[in-house]
Amino acid sequence: MNWGRSIIIAFILFASFIFYIVYSSMNTHFDLVSENYYKEELEYQKIIDSKQNANNLKEKIAIKVENNNIKLILPPELRSNTASGKIHFYNVTDARTDQQIDLVVNVQGEQDFERNKFVPGNYVAKISITSSGTDYYTEIPVKI
């Protein structure tokens, strides 16, 4: 084999590698943390204040993963009829499996979620609660 053929083979292999990289990068699935990140960034001071309010509670907001249920448990300070809010289960690896659920707690300050409605994986429960005119926000890692 002479040098001309070696150079042509090297060029063909290099070009094939570049085409493979371009094809792979175009077919890679990626998710943004939020579609409206700019709007949320402008309102971030409200989240900082809400996190501080949640940190000042005597007992923390908790989530327990049981056999067939996921249980949200509110501290006694938030167990009022005026408590409202949302729980956003953010899947770290696939935003298509995220779930946003309204807060509907019982008298004990608990809310159950069926575990089989979630795709197994690592989630971050982003909990926003308004009780007696005060906002609370916390994030709890959950493995389902």
pLDDT tens-digit map of 35-66: 777 777 777 888 899 999 999 999 999 999 98
Q: In the CATH scheme, what is the code of domain 37-143?
A: 2.60.40.10
pLDDT for position 81:
67
Residue 71 Cα to chain centre, angstroms:
17
Tell whether the model's pLDDT for residue 34 goes beyond 80: no
pLDDT tens-digit map of 9-25: 999 999 999 999 999 98
pLDDT for position 107:
83
pLDDT tens-digit map of 67-81: 888 999 998 888 776
What pTM was computed for the model? Answer: 0.71
Domain residue ranges of the chain, discontinuous segments joined by +: 1-30, 37-143
Query: Which residue is listed with tokens 């779930």?
Result: 99
**CA torsion 90→60→86→69, rounded to 10°?**
70
Tell whether the model's pLDDT for residue 132 goes beyond 80: yes
